[in-house]
Amino acid sequence: MGIEWLKPGVFFGSLLYALLGVLVFWVCFVVIDKLTPYRLWDEIVEKQNVALAIVVGAMCIAIGLIVAAAVGG
């Protein structure tokens, strides 16, 4: 493998895909937050709803896997 990943094209391509993945993940989270009848962040942080935090964590892992598979090919 060597230092192929240090080439500017490879490095900035990886950085671009990482930022694209984070952007897609954030948009998906906002859409799901808007679809629920309450605000997820307020429910988890202020009301300390542990069950909802577990569900949202699982959802975040699932969306992250989907985005990673889509970006990685």
| Tens place of pLDDT per residue across the chain (73 aa) | 567 767 888 778 888 888 888 888 889 888 988 998 888 888 999 999 999 999 989 988 988 888 788 777 6
Residue with tokens 């230092």: 3
Q: Is 60 inside a domain boundary?
A: yes
Q: Is 2 inside a domain boundary?
A: no
Domain of 29?
8-72
Neighbour tally for 56: CB within 10 Å: 19
Q: What predicted TM-score, i.e. pTM, was given to this entire model?
A: 0.69
Q: Is 63 inside a domain boundary?
A: yes
Q: Is 3 inside a domain boundary?
A: no
- Per-residue pLDDT, 49: 92
The total of structural domains in the chain comes to 1
- Per-residue pLDDT, 46: 93
Distance CA 2, CA 17 (A): 21
Burial 14-47 (b: 16+ CB within 10 A, else e): eeeeeeebeebbeebbeeeeeeeeeebeebbeee
Structure tokens at 25: 């993940």
Q: Is 55 inside a domain boundary?
A: yes
